[in-house]
Amino acid sequence: MIPIQEVRDFWDRRPCNLRHSPKAIGTQEYFDEVEARKYFVEPHIPRFAQFGRWQGKRVLEIGCGIGTDTINFARHGAWVTAVDLSEKSLEIARGRAEVYGLQDYIRFYLGNAEELTQFVPMEEYDLVYSFGVLHHTPRPREAVRQVLRYCHANTILKVMLYHRCSWKALTVTKGRLWRGDLIARHSEAQTGCPVTHTFTQRGARELLEGFEVIDMRVDHIFRYRVKDYMEYRYVKPWHLRFLPRWVERVLGWHLCITARKGKECKESPSWAWGGSAAPSLPA
């Protein structure tokens, strides 16, 4: 098993999305551009997160990175507890919260998601959110078990896992989907990621033991030429220029899952969830 320190070192060397802007890191111009670029190439993220749905609710984010989604939850009125393994990522995320004046609405914790109960105070959350993170921890099943400790009967889980039967996995492995080492090596912008698990839809359901899956969708094929994208140009290669949307919904890289804790939850997914009361945001 890959040591967690190796995973931490990888993300400390280059936090996710760090180079999404050429502006000076830590400035508002930098953060504005990082957000705009991220949601331009991955427009399904705001639709999936539904930031505005969580106003006045408690949100636990597992793997906040440099804080793009974190800021949007807080900006829309949620009380956020953000966790990340990378000290460098958290340093940038904390600075980001201060730039936007949202530091009072976000608590940051440094640590391993597989040991969540050792460093995050035991509280119940209305939403647990983890986008593109659990597949990078050596023992994702243990992380899910930890998350369950922070859920009340109506807690919603929103998680994105990498899809094994995807365009990207097929491309980097040349059809040899059993070559997990190749997928891991090329799963991120910075090559050589030490751990990248991929999941079929059935495998994702098995991973999320203790949760009842209420929606699972496949999305996202990166459509731009990487060399140009790294230079902040958006150029589509010919074979992706006219790729039908239905292909993305079958062979997308992102397996976007919405679930709720256990089968005892009787409420329909109307998003009118109960749970721990949060203090009101000041006007």
The pLDDT value recorded for residue 79 is 98
The pLDDT value recorded for residue 178 is 67
The pLDDT value recorded for residue 40 is 96
Overall CATH class of domain 4-261: alpha beta
The pLDDT value recorded for residue 230 is 85
pLDDT tens for the chain, 283 residues long, are 899 999 999 999 999 999 999 999 999 999 999 999 999 999 999 999 999 999 999 999 999 999 999 999 999 999 999 999 999 999 999 999 999 999 999 999 999 999 999 999 999 999 999 999 999 999 999 999 999 999 999 999 999 999 999 989 888 887 788 688 888 887 887 788 999 999 999 999 999 999 999 999 999 999 999 889 888 999 999 888 889 999 999 999 999 999 999 765 443 333 222 233 343 333 3
The pLDDT value recorded for residue 278 is 40
Neighbours of 236 (CB within 10 A): 13
The pLDDT value recorded for residue 191 is 84
Packing angle, helices 68-75 and 87-99, rounded to 10: 30
Q: With pLDDT > 70 as the criterion, what percentage of the chain qualifies?
A: 92
The pLDDT value recorded for residue 271 is 29
Between CA 222 and CA 202 the distance in angstroms is 24
The pLDDT value recorded for residue 272 is 28
β-strands 58-62, 79-84: how paired?
parallel
